[in-house]
């Protein structure tokens, strides 16, 4: 019996060592490894921030107007305090200008030991925001971990702390990315295949903003497979307002219900012209980064796409929702390529959203957390405290 138990322990230790080599981030998530630390864990009464890089592998090469990639750099964060751990994450798609190195440089400057309680959230997150002007994803990684920690200390999820509901939540849309043949035309077979993988959802998101021919081929190919409603993201790809309007009219006739960022983000007068004439609602994504942008966009767009990585996290996202509602603007929440940590943080807002684009964890092959579940295409929220995630 003893020998058997000894063997079991030996095997477990060997397996743990092998797992550490294969996936260090997994051990980080479960709390056994710290590769970055912003301050010494001198007292269990103090918050301790730790962090580690992680590479998210995409299930498919992801192409939007202007770029393609198969991995996304992420930095995972943890804030430990009195035996509780809050998880956070920064995701850095290349166009945002942050990298694992810049995020970790930022996190090394965050000194949480100067605060006595994680419930000093306003003070802590204002301090974090004031460290630099940009670094929104790095700031978000602290914000999410702090929210997760405080929710756990209170024993409640944030959707409930904020007084919101977990009933009748929206569907999340799921993205069918662009796929090109070697000659630069749309790879129709690949698009059909990708579309078939999305049919368990209720809403498809399509990335356009290409040439008119390719854009129309994408929609026509998807329509050969399904009549599910579509939202379109042009990622600033249509450069001229008359052309943008003609595309939107063409899309409206094919079951598209909303268009995100049709034109370049700085063209506000053109966006207002387009909004006055468009048969579909126009949402600002690249044009809307933080709270201070919302008022500028009023009148030019019907609504805003909030992303935690753009706006520094859950605290500011909630303020943006309050302001957008006051301005009678429509609200959507999107994501980057993210693990279930950031997706579950965003899902806390689900009851406030007209459109949810929270498929970032579905798009990656190596998620190391479990959190928000999509059931029959709909976002669901449980009673698990904080942001409701656990390491896998």
- The answer for residues whose C-beta is within 8 angstroms of residue 245's C-beta and 6 or more apart is 274, 277, 278
Give the pairing type, strands 204-207 and 230-233: parallel
Q: Do 341 and 88 meet the contact criterion of CB atoms below 8 Å apart?
A: yes
Say whether 190 sits in a helix, a strand or coil.
Answer: helix
How far from chain centre, in Å, is Cα 391? 18
Residues in contact with Mg ion, shown as a per-residue x/- string from 252 to 271 under the rule CB under 5 A: --------x-----------
User: Which region among 35-43, 104-112, 173-181, 277-285 touches Mg ion (by CB under 5 A)?
Assistant: 277-285
Q: Which is nearer to Mg ion, 233 or 359 (CB)?
A: 233
For residue 357, the minimal CB distance to Mg ion (Å) is: 8
Query: Toward Mg ion, which CB reaches closer, 143 or 285?
Result: 285
Nearer CB in complex with Mg ion: 260/338: 260
Query: Interacting stretch for Mg ion, rule CB under 5 A, among 201-209, 229-237, 269-277, 374-382?
Result: 229-237
Residue ranges with strand state E in the chain: 36-37, 48-64, 67-81, 84-91, 174-176, 204-207, 230-233, 256-260, 282-284, 303-306, 330-333, 355-356, 369-370, 373-375, 378-380, 390-391
Shortest Å, Cβ 356 to Mg ion: 13
98 touching Mg ion, by CB under 5 A: no
In whole angstroms, the minimum distance from the beta carbon of 67 to Mg ion comes to: 13
> Of 76, 20, 24, 74, which Cα lies nearest the Cα of 49?
76
Interaction between residue 233 and Mg ion (CB under 5 A): yes
CB of 362: closest distance to Mg ion in angstroms? 16
Phi first, then psi, for residue 355 (nearest 5°) are: -130, 140
Task: Output 285 or 316, the one with its CB closest to Mg ion.
Answer: 285
With contacts defined by CB under 5 A, name the span among 40-48, 227-235, 340-348, 358-366 that binds Mg ion: 227-235
Residue closer to Mg ion, measured from CB, 118 or 303:
303
Count the neighbouring beta carbons within 10 Å of the beta carbon of residue 178. Answer: 25
Task: Decide if residue 357 touches Mg ion (CB under 5 A).
Answer: no
| 268 versus 392: smaller Cβ distance to Mg ion | 268
State yes or no: residue 367 binds Mg ion (CB under 5 A).
Answer: no
Q: What is the DSSP string of 101-120?
A: HHHHHHHHT--GGG-S-TT-
- Of 233 and 302, the one with the shorter C-beta distance to Mg ion is 233
**Helix and strand counts by DSSP (H, E) for the chain:** 14, 16
Strand partners of residue 303: 283, 330
Decide whether 259 or 314 has the Cβ nearer to Mg ion: 259
Q: How many chain residues touch Mg ion (CB under 5 A)?
A: 3
* Residue least distant from Mg ion (Cβ): 285
CA distance 36 to 39: 9
Alpha carbons within 13 A on the beta-carbon side of 88 = 32
Task: Please say whether the beta carbons of 112 and 47 come within 8 A.
Answer: yes
Q: Which stretch binds Mg ion (CB under 5 A): 159-167, 225-233, 320-328, 346-354?
A: 225-233
Question: Rule CB under 5 A: is residue 285 a binding residue for Mg ion?
Answer: yes
Least distance CB 260 / Mg ion (angstroms): 5
Q: How far is the CB of 342 from Mg ion (least distance, A)?
A: 16
C-beta closer to Mg ion: residue 69 or 160: 69
Question: Percentage helix, strand, coil, to 5, in the chain?
Answer: 40, 25, 40
Binding positions for Mg ion, rule: CB under 5 A: 233, 260, 285
């Amino acid at each position: 019996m003893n020998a058997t138990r000894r063997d079991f322990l030996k095997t477990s230790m060997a397996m743990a060592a092998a797992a550490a080599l294969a996936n260090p981030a997994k051990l980080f998530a479960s709390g056994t490894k710290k590769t970055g630390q912003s301050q010494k864990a001198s007292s269990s009464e103090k918050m301790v921030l730790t962090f580690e890089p992680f590479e998210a592998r995409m299930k498919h090469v992801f192409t939007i107007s202007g770029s393609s990639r198969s991995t996304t750099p992420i930095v995972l964060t943890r804030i430990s305090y009195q035996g509780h751990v809050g998880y956070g994450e920064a995701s850095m798609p290349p166009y945002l200008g942050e990298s694992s190195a810049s995020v970790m440089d930022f996190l090394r400057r965050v000194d949480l030991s100067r605060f006595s309680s994680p419930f000093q959230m306003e003070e802590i997150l204002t301090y974090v925001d004031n460290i630099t002007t940009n670094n929104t994803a790095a700031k978000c990684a602290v914000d999410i971990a702090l929210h997760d920690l405080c929710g756990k200390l209170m024993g409640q999820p944030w959707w409930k702390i904020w007084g919101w509901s977990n009933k009748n939540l929206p569907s999340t849309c799921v993205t069918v990315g662009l796929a090109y043949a070697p000659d630069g035309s749309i790879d129709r077979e690949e698009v059909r295949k990708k579309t078939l993988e999305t049919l368990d959802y209720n809403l498809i998101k399509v990335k356009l903003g290409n040439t008119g021919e390719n854009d129309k081929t994408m929609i026509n190919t998807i329509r050969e497979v399904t009549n599910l409603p579509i939202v379109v993201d042009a990622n600033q790809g249509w450069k001229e307002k008359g052309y943008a309007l003609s595309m939107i009219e063409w899309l409206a006739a094919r079951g598209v219900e909303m268009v995100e960022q049709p034109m370049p983000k700085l063209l506000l007068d053109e966006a207002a012209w387009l909004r006055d004439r468009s048969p579909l609602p126009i949402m600002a994504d690249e044009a809307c980064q933080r709270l201070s942008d919302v008022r500028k966009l009023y009148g030019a767009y019907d609504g805003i796409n909030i992303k935690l990585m753009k706006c520094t996290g859950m605290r500011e996202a909630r303020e943006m929702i309050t302001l957008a509602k006051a301005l009678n603007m429509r609200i959507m929440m999107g994501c980057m390529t993210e693990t279930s940590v950031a997706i579950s943080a965003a899902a806390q807002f689900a009851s406030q959203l007209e459109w949810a684009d929270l498929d970032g964890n579905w798009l990656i092959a190596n998620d190391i957390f479990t959190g928000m579940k999509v059931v029959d295409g709909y976002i669901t929220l449980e009673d698990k405290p904080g942001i409701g995630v656990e390491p896998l």
